[in-house]
Amino acid sequence: MEGASYQRFPKVKIRELKDDYAKFELRETDASMANALRRVMIAEVPTIAIDLVEIEVNSSVLNDEFIAHRLGLIPLTSERAMSMRFSRDCDACDGDGQCEFCSVEFHLRAKCINDQTLDVTSKDLYSSDHTVVPVDFSDTGSGFENNEDQRGITIVKLRKGQELRLRAIARKGIGKDHAKWSPAATVTFMYEPEIHINEEMMETLSLEEKTSVVESSPTKVFGINPHTQQVEVVDREAYTYDDEVLKKVEAMGKPGLVEIYAKEDSFIFTVESTGAVKASQLVLNAIEVLKQKLDAVRLSEDTVEADDQFGELGAHMRGG
Amino acid sequence: MGVIEDSAMLDDSLQGSEGIDKQFLAAPVKSAVDKFQLLPEFLKVRGLVKQHLESFNYFVRTEIKKIVRANDLVTSRFDPSVYLRYKDVWIGKPSVVVDGVTDSLTPQKCRLSDMTYAAPIFVNIEYCNGSHGHNTHPQFKKDVVIGRMPIMLRSSSCVLYGKDEDELAKLGECPLDPGGYFVVKGNEKVILIQEQLSKNRIIIDTDKKGCIQASVMSSTEMTKSKTIIRMEKEKVYLVLNAFTSKVPIMLVMKAMGMETDQEVVQMLGRDPQYATLLLPSIEDCASIGIYTQQQALDFLEKKRKKSMSRFGKDEGALGVLRDIFIPNIRVRDNNFHLKCVYVVVMLRRMMDAILNKDAMDDKDYIGNKRLELSGQLLALLFEDLFKSMNDQLKFNVDKILAKPSRSSRFDVSQHLLKDSITVGLERSLSTGNWDVSRFKMHRKGMTQIVTRLSFIGAFGSMTKISPQFEKSRKVSGPRALQPSQWGMLCPCDTPEGEACGLVKNLALMTHVTTDEEEGPIISLCTCFGVEDLSLLSGEELHSPSSYLIILNGLILGKHRRPQRFAKVMRELRRAGKVGDFVSIYVNEKQRCVYIASDGGRVCRPLVIADNGISRIKEHHMRELKDGVRNFDSFLREGLIEYLDVNEENNALIALYEGEATHETTHIEIEPFTILGACAGLIPFPHHNQSPRNTYQCAMGKQAMGNIAYNQLCRMDTLIYLLVYPQRPLLTTRTIELVGYDKLGAGQNATVAVMSYSGYDIEDAIVMNKSSLDRGFGRCIVMKKISAAFQKYDNTSDQFSSPRRSQHDAEKTQILDNDGLASPGEIIRHQDIYFQKECPVDPKGSMKSHPSQTPYRTSKQTYKGAEGETAVVDRVALCSDKRNNLTVKFMVRHTRRPEVGDKFSSRHGQKGVCGTIVQQEDFPFSERGICPDLIMNPHGFPSRMTVGKMIELLGSKAGVSCGRFHYGSAFGEPSGHADKVEDISETLVKHGFCYNGKDFLYSGITGMPLQAYIFMGPIYYQKLKHMVLDKMHARGMGPRQLITRQPTEGRSRNGGLRVGEMERDCLIAYGTSNLIYERLMISSDPFEVQVCRKCGLLGYINYQSKTRVCSTCKNGDNISSMKLPYACKLLFQELQSMNIVPRLTLAD
């Protein structure tokens, strides 16, 4: 490692933490770091999802592939996923992916016997492993209406006489292969905005002009202090970089009244999980995966492999 | 005098307008009543394909009875006492007779088992078997079946008629299906609406040479003929098919008994201009020396075509004049006066056109056109078949009666054949060929299979109007948009290419009339002061003080106060005393009042306004909402009336109530009804460049989605379905009216308008892989494969169970023990899905026992895309017409979008998927919104589809606030489309920028994008064109038999042709070896033996291993060389034609 070190020590400050929601600040790093984290969370944190469906009986209105696709998209609790094996490199089962180390078996048996339509939901899936079950939204208390009818994710509706019987195998996978393995519902970040209000100039404005400045922003960023009648930043992060305020100020002939910059080294992350992994765990797993990836690069740094793997880039990494 | 009074009235009203002005100011402000609610009510009463249903109902209820009544008697030629008379005719309920048992039919049953949805035609007959039997009293028979009539779905004879949603569901029918088509041999066939020039009307136009002519296409129950009166070199002639050449018109007048020229001139009018124009013709006639009726008739007799005697019943020239010359004017007691008057009116109109070119008729004017619908067309066919049946009956009876001795008792009723009508109707419907020799009608392509690609496509085939001209004609006139199309025919929905502008579609509210009785109207007219023509002198005919009254092309007489007359007639119509669809049109230029009650006119409902104030008030609409009223009550109370295109010329129609002035007579119900069902899907079409809407009309029919509620029970040859279809976020009123919101064909995709990756040039779109994983654009393709168990004389095909141990056991895996693939099995390319035992010798010796006949196994293998797996969805067994067992397999294939699949928004913006990109590489907003697809902004400037941008805004506002937004055509003033301003406000309220642009970060770098990105949901359709069905490449493969060149086409695994132009490029580039390789080595190389001496081809004798020239009879000078086989073939073919091609070899 010749040359100047650009090593930095990013700081994380957690703002809000729920089971399936996290909001935190990531400071003292740059966009590449933040984006890498985001990308890994979406695409490379492993989870478990149904991958193989064997249908025994299906007399429902939806066809087999349809049901299989729906089953695949049901999030399963995947705390175990990090330690599980990918079935493609599982040596316990010659890659057919049916052993306990790399797969979880599910069964579903449903038949409608009365005149009412029967909703087959994710609750009807019986798992062979109690740690891997369909995510239950009713007890997380996370924004979902916690009513009695909430019976999980509907798979199919059956009318009298229709039946669905199947065996499903869930495997570990990553979001890159299929979106069903992505643990993230939403991962996004924004640059933290820095808003400067030129107080002196603001003083010159009438109250009406002040309100027009405040209202020019589609989101509630500014407010007028009812006591001091001064324009204040109410919610800095509500700012969506829409430039509306700046345009307004410009149009009023007062450039510089408000100045907004994006802090280039500080990010506000919003992470929502599908429920497969807790949001906090998702971030940690992502860092873990990111580390592993970096390790893989470092391991092959000096070897010939690096040349195979990275070509010219490998030489470059070695300082060539 | 009448005119004076009229103008006085006009003055009156003008003064009145000044007087009312004060009242107007004092009156409360005209509130715009929301008349939209009338539309669903209209559609409830009439349905979306009401024109077809009405026409068919009219045929079944009225016309068929008329036809039978007109031809009700069949009498034997030999014994007049032997006869058969039809007393009554009616159509029963759809049913089929199988093995003597009558079974009721439902349309779904017919679709599934390839039957015809038809009902028996019953007749009551009275017949007499003649004096031979002792019984000379007439005998009666009731409920005799003479054939089976295919029944239009949802017509009054259909089992679905008047059924509600639950009952329809029980019958396996989709409640949203409009009906209006037939099920013939399991295929859904619709009879296209045929556009034609009006019958029995005088049309003034020019012929090819530019001569002005007046022509009448006459059509009566008896005959059809065309009469032309043409001005050629200043002389007027009559052109009629029955005469070998043109005939001077004055001669014809004389032949009809109008011997004095003065009478003609008098009738023509006092104005010397007309007399001057006629003078050369009069001189011409005098110069031939014909002065009397007899002379004229003798002259015409010479010109008469002798073969035409069938209609004229060989009564000479007078017969021709009576029956072929304008036959729509009936001649009673050989009184030709009316015909003379008609001819003079034609002459007068023609001369008007000569004096003033404006008086020419426009052939493309919709008012001069009639639409022929299924009922009329079936009536034609039925009439022909019924007559043929009677002829055949007569022939058969005569044949038997002619025999000197008859063994059995004779019974006329036994000789009624029931097959000819059934078969004739079925054949015409399934082939689309209307061959009615009786009416000289030979038309092809009259029927079409209902397109079931998408729900809206089915609508499209029901409203399609096929043109009268051949498509090859290079004229622009008939293709241009006619102003008179307004509200009647959709201005957007027409195909591109050769049929552009010729094939049209009906608008949403259009109604096509059916025939109405003329009798009552004629007597009404006389009651209201129409002076009968026969009572008028010639002079009075064109007297300037009165107007001619013309009913359906028939001159009734004159009226002195035409405006008053028209007003009274219209009031009667509004009061319901005259049919709703009778039109009264005052043509001031021609000084005529046209009354029309014939079928095939297009018309539409309009709100009546008195002095510009709508008759529909707020309380009417409230009552409608409360269900106290319906559309018919509006009609009955004279709030609404139907106007046809001609009568619209007498009306001043305001678009909105607020725009109405004093002169306004009518107000539109809703402006968006000028569009049809297909164009109605487009949101904000009035913001788009017009051709874009036309493109979308064509593409909406190819979009995948839901077809019908019974889509999974159908056994169509090809079904495309979407896995997760959605209803558009931005809807229109039309969408709700036709039910597109229930059977959508697309998905709401979040679209970012930006460039990305370069794989989005030329309208390609970039798709998000995660969206595809989650089901975006996923579709199901179902194909039907059939197999049959044949029956032979003595034997038949048998079931065969697969032997699992055979070498092809792997291929027969999916077969059940009966040799049929079982539902739910995965089927791959080359798999066997059907296996049966066929007798080796189907003709078979009759004597041998069935168990001893030798059998062989016959298999059918599945040909799908290689590497793709499909699933056997359903297997259905049914018996076909010949009672053979047929097996139908539905094979289902679920596909996710791939690069090259075609997508389109609802604005004629189609594009293929250019690349599929991982979600993490996609741009994202700080809210976490990530688009489903990315569209290149270059798609906008040249297409000018502003509607699409508004759709994006509206949908974005819609998802934010949770209300479906509307974008009906021209809907902003009436509140059926959201205004951009309001949409922006909603957006801002929900924290978006008013212009719909978002601040996005690059998914690849995490840096903010340079520009704000226009992003929001747009309804995207997946079109049926998919790469999987088209992609094709070949290395080695099959060759054609005669030329040994590679086969052509994907289905035959053919090669890709290096054509003439490609070859030219290679020549120009100079790569001779490449040409050599492409055109010979890789195509059809062949080694030939050439004799150096004679230059002809020789051969190798493989037995003696010598090369021989067959011409020289020796093998001395043979060299071998390579040639394309096609070249060798050419040489040999030339030789066979006595041309000797000789090869001269160098070196």
**Cβ contact A234:A223 at 8 Å:** yes
SS3 A279: helix
Interface of B with A (CB under 8 A): 712, 723, 769-771, 773-775, 778, 780, 824, 871, 873, 892, 894, 918-920, 924-928, 987-988, 991-994, 998-999, 1001, 1003-1008, 1012
pLDDT given at position A219 = 80
With a cut of 80, say whether residue B819 has pLDDT above it: yes
B145/chain A closest Cα distance in angstroms: 42
- Does the residue B565 lie in any domain? no
Give a three-class secondary structure readout of B691-735.
HHHHHHHHHHCCECECCCCCHHHCCCCEEEEECCCCCCCEECHHH
Determine whether the interchain pair B993/A218 forms a contact, defined as Cβ–Cβ distance below 8 Å.
Answer: yes
Is B246 in the same domain as B353? Answer: yes
Is A106 in the same domain as A12? Answer: no
Q: Could you give the C-alpha distances from B366 to B105, B202, B503, in angstroms and in order? A: 40, 15, 14
pLDDT given at position B75 = 84
**Encoded amino acid at B848, one letter:** S
Q: What number is the average pLDDT over the span B1104-1112?
A: 86
For the beta carbon of residue B870, count every other beta carbon within 10 angstroms.
23
CA B8 to chain centre: 49
What's the structural domain count of chain B? 6
- Does the residue B985 lie in any domain? yes
What is the C-alpha separation between B505 and B494, in angstroms, rounded? 7
Over residues B348-401, the pLDDT tens digits come to 888 888 888 777 888 888 888 899 899 989 998 998 898 888 888 888 888 887
pLDDT given at position B7 = 42
- Read off the pLDDT band of B1141 (50, 70, 90): very high
SS3 B27: coil
Give a three-class secondary structure readout of B242-257.
CECCCEEHHHHHHHCC
B348 CB burial (10 A radius; 0-12, 13-18, 19+): buried
Q: What number is the average pLDDT over the span B1056-1072?
A: 93
Sign, CA dihedral B932-B933-B934-B940, equals: negative
Over residues B76-95, the pLDDT tens digits come to 877 777 888 888 999 999 98
Could you tell me what percent of chain B has a pLDDT over 90? 35
- The β-bridge partners of B447 are B191
pLDDT given at position A39 = 93
Is B783 in the same domain as B885? Answer: yes
Mean residue pLDDT of chain A comes to 84
What is the C-alpha separation between B802 and B728, in angstroms, rounded? 49
pLDDT given at position B555 = 85
A303 CB burial (10 A radius; 0-12, 13-18, 19+): exposed
pLDDT given at position B845 = 57
pLDDT given at position B1012 = 92
Most confident region among A35-49, B117-131, B832-846 by mean pLDDT: A35-49
Q: Mind telling me the catalytic residues of B?
A: 763
Is B808 in the same domain as B739? Answer: no
What's the structural domain count of chain A? 3
For the beta carbon of residue B1010, count every other beta carbon within 10 angstroms.
9
* Helix residue ranges per DSSP H, chain A: 31-43, 64-72, 199-203, 207-215, 244-251, 279-299, 304-310, 312-317
Determine whether the interchain pair B928/A241 forms a contact, defined as Cβ–Cβ distance below 8 Å.
Answer: no
Single out the residue of B899, B913, B914, B924 nearest to residue B1004, CA to CA. B924
With a cut of 60, say whether residue B605 has pLDDT above it: yes
Q: What number is the average pLDDT over the span A35-56?
A: 93
Determine whether the interchain pair B894/A240 forms a contact, defined as Cβ–Cβ distance below 8 Å.
Answer: no
Q: What number is the average pLDDT over the span B746-755?
A: 95
Over residues B676-711, the pLDDT tens digits come to 999 999 999 999 999 999 999 999 999 999 999 999
pLDDT given at position A300 = 66
**Cβ contact B979:B951 at 8 Å:** no
B1005/chain A closest Cα distance in angstroms: 6
- Does the residue A266 lie in any domain? no
With a cut of 70, say whether residue B132 has pLDDT above it: no
With a cut of 90, say whether residue B126 has pLDDT above it: no
Is B910 in the same domain as B888? Answer: no
With a cut of 50, say whether residue B25 has pLDDT above it: no
B805 vs A107: which has the higher pLDDT: A107
What is the C-alpha separation between B1134 and B1128, in angstroms, rounded? 10
Characterize B599-634 residue by residue with b for buried, 16 or more Cβ atoms within 10 angstroms of its Cβ, and e for exposed. bbbbbbbbbbbebbebbbeeebbeebeeeebbbeeb
Residue by residue, DSSP assigns B380-423 as HHHHHHHHHHHHHHHHHHHHHHHSS--SSPP-GGGG--SHHHHH
Q: What number is the average pLDDT over the span B51-61?
A: 91
Is B325 in the same domain as B205? Answer: yes
Q: Which two tokens stand for residue B408?
A: 């059995």
pLDDT given at position B135 = 57
First to last CA, chain B: 107
- Read off the pLDDT band of A204 (50, 70, 90): confident
pLDDT given at position B364 = 84
Q: Find the CATH number of the domain harbouring A210.
A: 3.30.70
Determine whether the interchain pair B712/A61 forms a contact, defined as Cβ–Cβ distance below 8 Å.
Answer: yes
Is B90 in the same domain as B224? Answer: no
Over residues A212-256, the pLDDT tens digits come to 888 888 788 888 888 888 888 888 888 888 788 888 888 888 888
Q: Find the CATH number of the domain harbouring A312.
A: 3.30.1360.10
Tell me the residue range of the domain where B729 lies: 724-777+899-1021
What is the C-alpha separation between B734 and B971, in angstroms, rounded? 11
**Cβ contact B1116:B1076 at 8 Å:** no
Q: Which element (helix H / strand E) includes B211?
A: none
pLDDT given at position B1131 = 94
pLDDT given at position B311 = 46
pLDDT given at position A272 = 93
Is A188 in the same domain as A211? Answer: no
- Does the residue A320 lie in any domain? yes
Determine whether the interchain pair A31/B1012 forms a contact, defined as Cβ–Cβ distance below 8 Å.
Answer: no
Determine whether the interchain pair B892/A270 forms a contact, defined as Cβ–Cβ distance below 8 Å.
Answer: no
pLDDT given at position B32 = 59
- Does the residue B272 lie in any domain? yes
- Does the residue A249 lie in any domain? yes
Q: Angle at Cα B598 formed by Cα B592 and Cα B602, nearest 5°?
A: 90
Is A133 in the same domain as A53? Answer: yes
B400 CB burial (10 A radius; 0-12, 13-18, 19+): middle
Least confident piece of the model among B50-59, B749-758, B799-808, B1095-1104: B799-808
- Does the residue A267 lie in any domain? no
Is B790 in the same domain as B827? Answer: yes
- The β-bridge partners of A156 are A120
With a cut of 60, say whether residue B603 has pLDDT above it: yes
What is the C-alpha separation between B693 and B672, in angstroms, rounded? 14
A15/chain B closest Cα distance in angstroms: 16
Give a three-class secondary structure readout of A285-304.
HHHHHHHHHHHHHHHCCCCH
Is A134 in the same domain as A17? Answer: no
Is B207 in the same domain as B289? Answer: yes
- Read off the pLDDT band of B474 (50, 70, 90): low
Q: Which two tokens stand for residue B253?
A: 């007048």
pLDDT given at position B11 = 43
Is A3 in the same domain as A101? Answer: no
- Does the residue B486 lie in any domain? no
Between helices B455-463 and B690-700, what is the axis angle to 10°?
A: 110
With a cut of 80, say whether residue A99 has pLDDT above it: no
Is A188 in the same domain as A318? Answer: yes
Is B770 in the same domain as B783? Answer: no
Q: How do strand B554-559 and strand B202-206 relate by DSSP bridges?
A: unpaired
Which residue, among A44, A67, A69, would best test binding to B if mutated, counting the most B CBs under 10 Å from its CB? A69
Query: Across chain B, which distance is largest between two alpha carbons, in Å?
Result: 119
What is the C-alpha separation between B182 and B154, in angstroms, rounded? 10
With a cut of 90, say whether residue B964 has pLDDT above it: yes
Least confident piece of the model among B171-180, B465-474, B921-930: B465-474
With a cut of 80, say whether residue B236 has pLDDT above it: yes
Determine whether the interchain pair A189/B780 forms a contact, defined as Cβ–Cβ distance below 8 Å.
Answer: no
- Does the residue A10 lie in any domain? yes
Is B378 in the same domain as B455? Answer: yes
Select the residue of A42, A58, A188 nearest B926 (Cβ to Cβ): A188
Query: Which ipTM value was assigned to this complex?
Result: 0.90
Residue B111 has, within 13 A of its CA and on its CB side, a CA count of: 21
Is B92 in the same domain as B221? Answer: no
pLDDT given at position B230 = 87
Single out the residue of B124, B128, B147 nearest to residue B76, CA to CA. B128
**Cβ contact B1079:B1113 at 8 Å:** no
For the beta carbon of residue A15, count every other beta carbon within 10 angstroms.
12
Is B335 in the same domain as B419? Answer: no
SS3 B1059: coil
Select the residue of B774, B894, B998 nearest A73 (Cβ to Cβ): B774
With a cut of 90, say whether residue B31 has pLDDT above it: no
Put simply, the chain A residues between 248 and 287 with a CB less than 8 A from any chain B CB are 262, 270, 272
Q: What number is the average pLDDT over the span B760-789?
A: 93
**Encoded amino acid at B719, one letter:** I
- Does the residue A264 lie in any domain? no
Over residues B977-992, the pLDDT tens digits come to 999 999 999 998 888 8
Q: Which two tokens stand for residue A106?
A: 């599910």
Select the residue of A42, A43, A242 nearest B993 (Cβ to Cβ): A242
Q: Find the CATH number of the domain harbouring B744.
A: 2.40.270.10
Q: Which residues contact B12 (CB under 8 A, 6 or more apart)?
A: none
pLDDT given at position B30 = 47
For the beta carbon of residue B1048, count every other beta carbon within 10 angstroms.
12
Single out the residue of B776, B878, B861 nearest to residue B815, CA to CA. B861
Q: Which residues contact B392 (CB under 8 A, 6 or more apart)?
A: B417, B420
- Does the residue A289 lie in any domain? yes
Least confident piece of the model among B47-61, B216-230, B367-381, B1060-1074: B216-230
Q: Which two tokens stand for residue B439?
A: 């009416």
Mean residue pLDDT of chain B comes to 85
B1073 vs A307: which has the higher pLDDT: B1073
Is A119 in the same domain as A247? Answer: no
With a cut of 50, say whether residue B16 has pLDDT above it: no
B261 vs B762: which has the higher pLDDT: B762
What is the C-alpha separation between B166 and B1008, in angstroms, rounded? 55
Q: What number is the average pLDDT over the span B821-831?
A: 89
